[in-house]
């Protein structure tokens, strides 16, 4: 420690005001404060003692809460891979395989992101914020394991520069930085982040087990739903055709269409399709809750997200109101759709919405970002409920975007200040009413 201290002391004159590298003070401070809580004392006036908490500890708590998701994700990447190639593998093999795929993504995200932060710290002369320590971990966890590393780097730079620094740095940003990265990839390089990218499979298809499909539950649900509605459309079309021209061939076609539609016309079509997915029991509720399914690296396991949620709630770092209300909003919307039942996806039992896709991960780690979430206590309820409800709406009503949580959170990030505006206005009005009575 003495050596570290001496090194910092030696460097300090260079980066302090008037020094050769004074622009790098923020970077210097970032590294120094990583080792030492500085000797700063409180001012002569004002509070004379300060709470033991600081931003680093707060962010560190979030990172710790994400570790279960990361470790499970690493294992699951290996697990899915070996399932797909039909090999039995030991725990260690799966972990090693997963680590080889996942850790480079994490390293790239951190290295590129922190590098960008350092550049901005030097140019804008603001301290390097701890916020990226969390963002840098969130970005890999919401990406598929097959993502090319250069795309990770691009997305990270985009998110930090446009999502955060353009607004003035940490604490000033409107959109969740990690989701900005994901949204960037989603719209700029859709082929790398949609379709069958969720499992690492060999290039050579002969090595893959027969019947393999990389589709996620969300994709299956969307596909089943549109298949059923297509079948119904065809049936109606054929009926029309038969009426116009009651030839034999048309009758046969019509009967086929009726058969087809009938086959798909079951209330539990989505569930049936999930259950008959190639991997045995891959998409049963329990399996999905535990997270044994393909998906983004960190978001498959609802259980791991709940462990993270437990850490965030017990430590008071994440808002339990937001976490709870996102789940409640999604479940409520799921039930409502069950009642409407206009298509097969709507009929998916509501609890399934909570375990498929990234809902749990988004609710626990993304929606709770205090900077971009609603900041008033009443606002947090509204914000969370709307995220949950919107997620399910986007999933069910718009098959073009199978994962709704990303867009729902980004959308509500934009609306959070509006929610707060009305909550604050209510506070002002209470004061005003009191004065006029």
Partner 1 sequence: MSQHIKLKKGYNIKLQGAAENRIATCEQSATFSVKPDSFHGIQRPKLLVKEGDKVKAGTPILFDKKHNSIMFAAPVSGEVANIVRGEKRKLLEVVIRADKDVEFADFSKHSISEINNLSREDAAKQMLESGVWPNIVQRPFGVLANPDEHPKSIFISAFDSHPLAPNYDFLFKGEDKYFQAGIEVLKKFTAGQIHLNIDAEGEVSQMFAHAKNVQLNKISGAHPAGNVGVQIHHIDPINKGDVVWTINPFGVIQIGKLFLEGVYDTSRLVAVAGPEVQKPAYYKTYTGANIENFVANNLKSDHVRFIAGNVLTGSRVDGNGHLGFFDNLVTVIEEGDKEEVFGWVLPQFNKPSFHRALGLMAFMNPSKEFRVNSNMNGEARSFVQTGVFEKVTPMDILPTYLVKAILAEDYDDMESLGIYEVIEEDLALCEFVDVSKHDIQEIIREGLDMIQNS
In this chain, which of 6, 13, 16, 54 binds partner 1, going by CB under 8 A? Answer: 54
Residue list 170-189, contact with partner 1 (CB under 8 A): 170-172
Is residue 3 within the footprint of partner 1 (CB under 8 A)?
no
Residue list 310-329, contact with partner 1 (CB under 8 A): 311, 314-317, 319
Is residue 61 within the footprint of partner 1 (CB under 8 A)?
yes
What mask, x for binding partner 1 by CB under 8 A, covers residues 76 to 115? ----------------------------------------
Contacts of 138 (CB under 8 A, 6+ apart): 66, 177, 178, 365, 366
> Please, are residues 193 and 144 in contact by the beta-carbon 8 Å criterion?
yes
Is residue 167 within the footprint of partner 1 (CB under 8 A)?
no
CB of 170 to partner 1, least distance (A): 6
In this chain, which of 12, 22, 31, 33 binds partner 1, going by CB under 8 A? Answer: 33
User: How many CB atoms neighbour CB 67 within 10 A?
Assistant: 15
Q: Please, which residue, 103 or 426, has the CB nearer to partner 1?
A: 426
Is residue 17 within the footprint of partner 1 (CB under 8 A)?
no
> Please, are residues 312 and 375 in contact by the beta-carbon 8 Å criterion?
no
> Please, are residues 220 and 271 in contact by the beta-carbon 8 Å criterion?
no
Give the separation between CA 413 and CA 163, rounded to whole angstroms: 12
Piece of 141-149, 242-250, 329-337, 372-380 that binds partner 1 (CB under 8 A): 372-380
Is residue 10 within the footprint of partner 1 (CB under 8 A)?
no
CB of 322 to partner 1, least distance (A): 10
Among 4, 28, 225, 53, smallest CA distance to 122 is for: 28
Task: Map residue 358 onto helix, strand or coil.
Answer: coil
Residue list 401-430, contact with partner 1 (CB under 8 A): 424, 427-428, 430
Give the separation between CA 372 and CA 414, rounded to whole angstroms: 8
**Crossing angle for the helix pair 91-124 and 55-84, nearest 10 degrees?**
140
For residue 215, is it left (φ>0), alpha (ψ between -120 and 50) or beta? beta
Report the interface residues with partner 1, using CB under 8 A: 1, 5, 29, 33, 35-58, 60-61, 64, 127, 129-131, 169-172, 311, 314-317, 319, 370-371, 373, 375-377, 380, 424, 427-428, 430-432, 434-435
């Amino acid at each position: 420690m003495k050596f570290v201290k001496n090194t910092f002391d030696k460097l300090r004159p260079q980066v302090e005001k008037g020094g050769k590298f004074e622009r790098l003070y923020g970077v210097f401070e970032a590294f120094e404060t990583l080792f030492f809580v500085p000797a700063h004392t409180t001012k002569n006036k004002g509070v004379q003692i300060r709470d033991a908490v600081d931003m680093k500890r707060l962010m560190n708590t979030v990172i710790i809460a994400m570790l279960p998701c990361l470790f499970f994700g690493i294992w699951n990447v290996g697990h899915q891979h070996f399932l797909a190639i039909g090999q039995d593998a030991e725990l260690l093999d799966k972990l090693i395989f997963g680590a080889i795929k996942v850790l480079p993504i994490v390293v790239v995200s951190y290295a590129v992101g922190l590098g960008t932060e350092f550049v901005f710290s030097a140019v804008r002369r603001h301290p390097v914020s701890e916020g990226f320590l969390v963002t840098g971990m969130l970005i890999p966890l919401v990406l598929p394991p097959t993502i090319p590393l250069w795309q990770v780097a691009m997305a990270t730079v985009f998110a930090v520069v446009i999502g955060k620094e353009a607004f003035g740095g940490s604490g000033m940003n409107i959109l969740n930085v990690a989701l900005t990265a994901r949204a960037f990839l989603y719209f700029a390089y859709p082929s790398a982040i949609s379709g069958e990218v969720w499992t690492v499979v060999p290039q050579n298809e002969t090595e893959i087990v027969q019947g393999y499909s990389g589709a996620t539950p969300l994709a299956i649900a969307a596909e089943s739903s549109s298949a059923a509605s297509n079948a119904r459309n065809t049936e109606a079309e054929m009926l029309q055709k038969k009426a116009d021209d009651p030839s034999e061939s048309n009758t046969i076609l019509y009967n086929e269409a009726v058969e087809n539609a009938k086959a798909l016309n079951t209330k539990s079509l989505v569930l049936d399709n999930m259950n008959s997915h190639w991997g045995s029991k891959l998409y049963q509720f329990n399996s999905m809750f535990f997270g044994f399914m393909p998906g983004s690296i960190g978001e498959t396991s609802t259980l791991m997200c709940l462990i993270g949620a437990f850490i965030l709630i017990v430590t008071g770092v994440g808002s339990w109101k937001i976490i709870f209300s996102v789940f409640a909003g999604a479940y409520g919307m799921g039930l409502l759709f069950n009642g409407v039942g206009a298509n097969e996806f709507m009929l998916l039992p509501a609890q399934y919405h909570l375990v498929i896709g990234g809902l749990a991960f988004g609710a626990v780690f993304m929606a709770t970002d205090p900077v971009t979430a609603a900041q008033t206590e009443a606002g947090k309820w509204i914000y969370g409920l709307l995220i949950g409800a919107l997620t399910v709406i986007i999933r069910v009503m718009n098959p073009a975007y199978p994962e709704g949580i990303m867009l729902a959170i980004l959308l509500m990030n934009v609306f959070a200040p509006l929610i707060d505006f009305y909550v604050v206005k209510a506070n002002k009005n209470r004061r005003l009413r009191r004065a006029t009575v």
